[in-house]
């Protein structure tokens, strides 16, 4: 099994595999302070909701490392400002807000301790977030593997593997588990425009793991579904509302509509940290709009005429009625989603 180190904190620096450059170049982006982390999240050096959450945790550690050498009264003010900036680096992925809230609680609960001690406690907490994510992914993979039939052909969208998490993956973690369970699966991976996370990242992970697969253009998926060549669709999530509505990479909603029309099971794979228990429906999810350059250019090369206006939402929302189930580390949640999601809340 290939080991992909997406996130590593070593020698007081955060080391991230630079996902902007894969698969052409395997290089690492080094974060020496929280501003580097904020940039890495915003510019998608690191992406995927769980990976963003774990990275943000270490961003808080780097902020504490920087400010603990100053005056005590300044430490907490500067930390508040740093956490606020990290919290706003991407607006849709709820794991980011979850991780920042968790680190804020650690600061609040230990505010009377020496600053060096607060730093050490924050570092321990960030390590826990990273470790917990890997353990969570493996639990999800085990539950998800239960619904994968032998010889299944699976369609996936965007990247939901080790690169999108602290390790192993969400939807791609289920695919890994099925592969290593000798289920003789086959995978179709959407290229996932406009940033090509499926073509650049998922295809790279599938090749690394030697999982039988083909890469397809996004607009080939509907034909495969119609022609009965897809048995199961597995995708990730960036935020899940209380009623099961799910925000994921743009194009997910379209897949869910076609899947429903042709009775292909459509599953979300995400940890419970991706569930936003404070919002009722997907209508409340803030959808990030990104630069027009992501659409007009591919890998830095212009593919559209200058001056053309662009609409570039990073995510869309799949309504709960299109979802067969949400695979979490606590089991598979099915309709009625609101009732059953509440049951798994800690």
What CATH number has the domain bearing residue 58? 1.20.120.420
* pLDDT tens profile 292-345: 999 999 989 999 999 999 999 999 999 999 999 999 999 999 999 999 999 998
Range of the domain at 300: 138-343
In a domain, 321, yes or no: yes
In a domain, 1, yes or no: no
Shared domain check, 21 and 40: yes
Shared domain check, 148 and 117: no
pLDDT at 346 over 70: no
Handedness of CA 336, 341, 344, 346 (dihedral sign): negative
- DSSP assignment of 286-335 equals PPPB--THHHHEETTEE-S-TT-----BSEEEE-GGG-SEEEETTEEE-S
Two structure tokens written together for 115: 């600053």
Residue 307: CATH number of its domain: 3.40.50.10470
* Catalytic residue chosen out of the listed positions 218, 238, 245, 316: 238
Shared domain check, 313 and 297: yes
* pLDDT tens profile 143-167: 999 999 999 999 999 999 999 998 8
Task: For residue 293, indicate whether it is catalytic.
Answer: no
In a domain, 223, yes or no: yes
Nearest CA to 238 out of 266, 267, 270, 193 is that of: 270
Shared domain check, 269 and 151: yes
Domain boundary among 137, 172, 188: 137
Element at 223 (helix H, strand E): helix 221-226
Domain boundary among 137, 156, 186: 137
pLDDT at 222 over 70: yes
How many distinct structural domains can be found in the chain?
Answer: 2
Higher pLDDT, 1 or 48: 48
pLDDT averaged over every residue in the chain: 96
Shared domain check, 287 and 157: yes
């Amino acid at each position: 099994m290939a080991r992909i180190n997406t996130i590593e904190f070593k020698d007081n620096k955060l080391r991230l595999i630079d996902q902007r450059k894969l698969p052409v170049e395997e290089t690492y982006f080094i974060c020496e302070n929280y501003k580097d982390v904020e940039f890495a999240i915003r510019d998608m050096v690191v992406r995927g909701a769980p990976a963003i959450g774990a990275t943000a945790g270490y961003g808080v550690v780097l902020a504490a490392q920087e400010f603990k050498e100053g005056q005590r009264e300044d430490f907490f003010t500067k930390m508040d400002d740093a956490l606020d900036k990290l919290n706003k680096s991407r607006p849709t992925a709820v794991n980011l807000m979850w991780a920042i809230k968790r680190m804020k609680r650690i600061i609040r609960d230990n505010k009377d301790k020496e600053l060096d001690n607060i730093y050490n406690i924050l570092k321990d907490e960030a390590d826990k977030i990273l470790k917990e994510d890997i353990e969570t992914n493996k639990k999800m993979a085990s539950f998800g593997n239960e619904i994968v039939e032998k010889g299944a052909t699976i369609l996936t969208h965007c990247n939901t593997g080790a690169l999108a998490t602290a390790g192993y993956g969400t939807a791609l973690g289920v695919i890994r588990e099925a592969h290593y369970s000798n289920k003789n699966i086959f995978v179709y991976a959407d290229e996932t425009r406009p940033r090509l996370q499926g073509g650049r990242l998922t295809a790279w992970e599938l090749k690394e793991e030697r999982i039988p697969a083909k890469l397809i253009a996004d607009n080939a998926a509907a034909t495969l579904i119609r022609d009965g060549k897809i048995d199961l669709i597995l995708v990730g999530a960036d935020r899940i509302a209380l009623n099961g509505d799910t925000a994921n990479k743009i194009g997910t909603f379209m897949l869910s509509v076609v899947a429903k029309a042709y009775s292909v099971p459509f599953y979300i794979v995400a940890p419970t940290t991706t569930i936003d228990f404070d919002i009722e429906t997907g209508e409340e999810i803030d959808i990030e709009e990104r630069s027009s350059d992501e659409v007009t250019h591919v890998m830095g090369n212009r593919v559209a005429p200058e001056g053309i206006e662009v609409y570039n939402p990073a995510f869309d929302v799949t309504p709960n009625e299109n979802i067969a189930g949400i695979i979490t580390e606590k089991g598979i949640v099915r309709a009625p989603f609101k009732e059953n999601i509440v049951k798994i809340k800690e």
